[in-house]
Structure 1
């Protein structure tokens, strides 16, 4: 691990994926903020070595309905449900030095209000290197409600106001791909990414916007993610001095100036975001981060990430698994037991449905046709079923242990009932995982001998979390609790993959070093 020479604050910290990546990249965490008590429990355990169910000065509640002695109730509390600032343990000096190494649990809006109340301004004298954060995704997701006045749509702007207050050199904002899509409010059309970029520019940060994909950074997942690196004006000016003809910086510079001189006439053409799929030549490690590889044959597959956890016997850990465990080594934990690897119980109906999805992975050219027909309750010919059966016999080892004859296979195939969910599918073992990992029943294992959803540990492996990292709280939740509880599966699915965070952290550190060395 690198010597921790840079200073880092994280807002919207989640369970800690970004934090362990940044720590490995050489950033020392001054403090973090997270609104979910469940995710905070995981963060505190793994990053701070603290059990938050017991009072500890390194974990401070910004607000709660419950007293300091009622930690079990606090761990199940919805901290977004009220605005009353009660039972607040958070106190700090004007330079925030007593927050070092702390986790602040609560709504980031309350933290912003505390800074305003205490007249906090540039507490680190311009020497804070990075503030990172991933504001909640619901209001920006294509599947969510696009309400302009929804308070969650305000959170990136609250993020910008805090950054204006504490003046980091760089801001890293992470979000879902859906932030790039247009949405309507009345007769007006908005682009959330562009609105957020304008907000940060108004606060004095020049935004460089991009769409990355985790699979290019050594993660076993095909996961597009929006990233904005916003540079404090004086830092950005030094970047311009160091890279005067860089096309990315020139575009951002023109946008930044227009924000401050002709704001009312800004339009979408004034700023670009750079898609790693379409603009890969710009991801050269100068201004935009350089990926580990663009070569498909070097992408990490789900088989490499989880095959040693299968039921078929003790398997040797892959190079990928050994690498993430070595890369994110910690002094806090020495345990060797495997945690968060509980298999969920399924009915025979669900197991058969998963088995059907798994068989389709071997259907070759028949796959899409069979899936559509089955979904639509349309006739699938005997010839199609025979072709699939023959393909499975030749492609899948020990296939006949499941289906002893074509007749048994046909009976199974015709009796299976599919879910109405179009996102359900089986992993393809030779490829990275698809992005949908937040809800566990969207994806099932690739092995015909394990017709089940993934365990939390398997999902964590795919996301590049090391095995020592333990997820706390409930495994899953339902009903109205989905609105605010962040159980283990959701913690993993929402997290920034540590290997992606590591790449971004190293890139930011190298950029700052270049500026510092050249003046």
Structure 2
């Protein structure tokens, strides 16, 4: 059975991609940002995409495109107001988008839903916001549980963390979260579980087969060849259905910027610079050169804080996409600046796939219960 999904705040489609990899059918997606829509539609040819502010989106408009209720609703509504020290979650105007997600779940009553957000939400205001979220969904008939998942623990070469809220309708559907599949070999090891897991995927393992682009006079082409055969399972996975490299154009930094980057060893930051250069960017992650032997720091939206481990530039869009676990057949559209934003804002597809597979176990368990 192919479960039907609505994806709100879909962006370029990372959440959708992961659910598709797990066998789900994304029938409707919605976002307000046109560059994301263009990329989404290019890579999800069979999904109805609605470019519209969700506050103005009515259920009948969706029904005109898809006649039926989804099995699952997914999305990552922005929750800026959750960062306030006060306790006025519902009244904070900045949380209107979160309330729209609740509205869509209430109107379509899917069997289950998944809401993704930043992990800091869990501890803010001494847990008040989490309790409010749980209460909001209880009031519309859902049992909800949440967990903070670390991307690197699921085969993504990145230390990104996100909180996932999973809801089941009327308490009928058991809620499962995905079991960890990868571990940090330098960390504390659980010998009972380690035999069933693989080591974390490192940044070097993720990108070593891509053209290095270390010549400042050659920024790369729109379509390029791989420089070698895939060297590991992750690269083989990323290259499924792809014969060429796309979205791999280097940024043309000034010579001064390149000279400063060149002074920073792999895995180090501004503290490695001469005293007179440390103040050129005044924040802790300034001039950080990524470590190829570790999972990457969280991919940002193109703010130029983190630099390539082996050459003097920031990662390309394709390298960033590899770090996020977008396979190479997923081609980003629009300006390079918008592509960086699309990649940085996305849910890593392989993390979304792990969550989707856990949902499948929940849905199948409920079907067995109903059948018996």
Shared topology, TM-score over 0.5?
Answer: yes
| Secondary structure of 2:73's aligned partner | strand
Structure number with larger C-alpha Rg: 1
Structure 2 residue ranges without an equivalent (≥5): 187-198, 215-225
Could you say which residue in structure 2 is the equivalent of 1:444?
307
C-alpha distance in structure 1 between counterparts of 2:63 and 2:253, whole Å? 55
Q: Kindly state the Cα deviation for residue 48 of structure 1 after the two structures are TM-superposed.
A: 1.2
Could you say which residue in structure 2 is the equivalent of 1:317?
230
How big is the alpha-carbon RMSD for the aligned residues of Structure 1 and Structure 2? 3.1
Asked whether the equivalents of residues 209 and 235 of structure 2 are also in contact (C-alpha less than 8 Å), the reply is: no
Q: Kindly state the Cα deviation for residue 348 of structure 1 after the two structures are TM-superposed.
A: 1.8
Could you say which residue in structure 2 is the equivalent of 1:110?
56
- Do the aligned partners of residues 444 and 205 (structure 1) sit closer, same or farther apart at CA in structure 2, a change above 3 Å counting? same
| Secondary structure of 1:33's aligned partner | strand
Asked whether the equivalents of residues 428 and 446 of structure 1 are also in contact (C-alpha less than 8 Å), the reply is: yes
Query: Is 1:512–2:363 an aligned residue pair?
Result: yes
Q: Kindly state the Cα deviation for residue 152 of structure 1 after the two structures are TM-superposed.
A: 3.4
Give runs of aligned pairs for residues 212-223 of structure 1, distance below 5 A. Answer: 212-223=149-160
Q: Kindly state the Cα deviation for residue 197 of structure 1 after the two structures are TM-superposed.
A: 2.0
Q: 1:345 aligns with which of 249, 252, 258?
A: 252
What whole-Å deviation, never above 9, does each CA across 1:100-158 have from its counterpart, x for those lacking one? x31001111111xx2389999xx73xx6321000112544469x999855543121121
C-alpha distance in structure 2 between counterparts of 1:435 and 1:346, whole Å? 22
Could you say which residue in structure 1 is the equivalent of 2:200?
299
Q: Kindly state the Cα deviation for residue 349 of structure 1 after the two structures are TM-superposed.
A: 1.7
Query: Is 1:230–2:119 an aligned residue pair?
Result: no
Could you say which residue in structure 1 is the equivalent of 2:132?
195
Asked whether the equivalents of residues 141 and 176 of structure 1 are also in contact (C-alpha less than 8 Å), the reply is: no
- Do the aligned partners of residues 104 and 119 (structure 1) sit closer, same or farther apart at CA in structure 2, a change above 3 Å counting? closer
| Secondary structure of 2:253's aligned partner | coil
Could you say which residue in structure 2 is the equivalent of 1:454?
315
Q: Kindly state the Cα deviation for residue 418 of structure 1 after the two structures are TM-superposed.
A: 3.7
Q: 1:497 aligns with which of 340, 348, 351?
A: 348
TM-score w.r.t. the length of structure 1 is 0.60
Query: Is 1:134–2:80 an aligned residue pair?
Result: no
- Do the aligned partners of residues 337 and 436 (structure 1) sit closer, same or farther apart at CA in structure 2, a change above 3 Å counting? closer
| Secondary structure of 2:350's aligned partner | helix
C-alpha distance in structure 1 between counterparts of 2:9 and 2:26, whole Å? 14
> Alignment length, in residue pairs?
342
Q: Kindly state the Cα deviation for residue 442 of structure 1 after the two structures are TM-superposed.
A: 1.3
Query: Is 1:466–2:327 an aligned residue pair?
Result: yes
- Do the aligned partners of residues 226 and 238 (structure 1) sit closer, same or farther apart at CA in structure 2, a change above 3 Å counting? closer
Asked whether the equivalents of residues 139 and 145 of structure 1 are also in contact (C-alpha less than 8 Å), the reply is: no
C-alpha distance in structure 1 between counterparts of 2:34 and 2:173, whole Å? 40
Give runs of aligned pairs for residues 77-226 of structure 1, distance below 5 A. Answer: 101-111=47-57, 114-115=58-59, 124=68, 128-136=70-78, 138-140=80-82, 148=89, 149-183=91-125, 191-226=128-163
Q: Kindly state the Cα deviation for residue 352 of structure 1 after the two structures are TM-superposed.
A: 2.1
Asked whether the equivalents of residues 5 and 71 of structure 2 are also in contact (C-alpha less than 8 Å), the reply is: yes
Q: Kindly state the Cα deviation for residue 514 of structure 1 after the two structures are TM-superposed.
A: 1.4
Q: Kindly state the Cα deviation for residue 506 of structure 1 after the two structures are TM-superposed.
A: 1.0
Q: Kindly state the Cα deviation for residue 356 of structure 1 after the two structures are TM-superposed.
A: 2.7
Asked whether the equivalents of residues 353 and 416 of structure 1 are also in contact (C-alpha less than 8 Å), the reply is: no
C-alpha distance in structure 2 between counterparts of 1:468 and 1:181, whole Å? 38
TM-score w.r.t. the length of structure 2 is 0.83
Asked whether the equivalents of residues 353 and 417 of structure 1 are also in contact (C-alpha less than 8 Å), the reply is: no
- Do the aligned partners of residues 5 and 180 (structure 1) sit closer, same or farther apart at CA in structure 2, a change above 3 Å counting? same
Q: Kindly state the Cα deviation for residue 202 of structure 1 after the two structures are TM-superposed.
A: 1.1
- Do the aligned partners of residues 140 and 444 (structure 1) sit closer, same or farther apart at CA in structure 2, a change above 3 Å counting? farther
Higher helix content, 1 or 2:
1
C-alpha distance in structure 2 between counterparts of 1:439 and 1:452, whole Å? 12
C-alpha distance in structure 2 between counterparts of 1:468 and 1:428, whole Å? 26
Structure 1 residue ranges without an equivalent (≥5): 50-100, 184-188, 240-285, 330-334, 362-366, 378-413, 477-486
